[in-house]
Amino acid sequence: MTTKAPTAPEPITDAARRVYDAIVDYIDSHGYAPTVRELCGLLDIASPNGVECHLKTLERRGWIVRTERQARTIRPIGGER
């Protein structure tokens, strides 16, 4: 039986990196994940859809995991700060 070695997350854009860093900073200071609307305010992004697009990219590339249809379930899993 072999175990699968953890893989490094795929590279992301600077904009997605800002979102990732905001998530990690928020969790560090509050103890729980931000909502999409809170991320909008933190990053000065007017549309929740704009943040959602970055979150989907981060998820797809292995930087975060989320539980669908639940607030505050963003968990960073990859990347160095």
Predicted confidence (pLDDT) at residue 62 exceeds the cutoff of 50: yes
- Whole-structure pTM value: 0.83
How confident is the model over 15-34, as pLDDT tens digits? 999 999 999 999 999 999 99
Specify if 4 maps to a domain: no
Specify if 56 maps to a domain: yes
> Sorting pLDDT into bands at 50, 70 and 90, what band is 5?
very low
Residues ≥6 apart with Cβ < 8 Å to 52: 36
Give the domain extent around 54: 14-64
CA atoms within 13 A on the CB side of 40: 11
Please answer whether residues 74 and 81 qualify as being in contact, where contact means their C-beta atoms are separated by less than 8 angstroms. no
Specify if 77 maps to a domain: no
Number of compact structural domains in the chain: 1
CATH number, residue 48 = 1.10.10.10
Specify if 53 maps to a domain: yes
* Of residues 63 and 5, more confidently modeled: 63
Predicted confidence (pLDDT) at residue 78 exceeds the cutoff of 90: no
Specify if 46 maps to a domain: yes
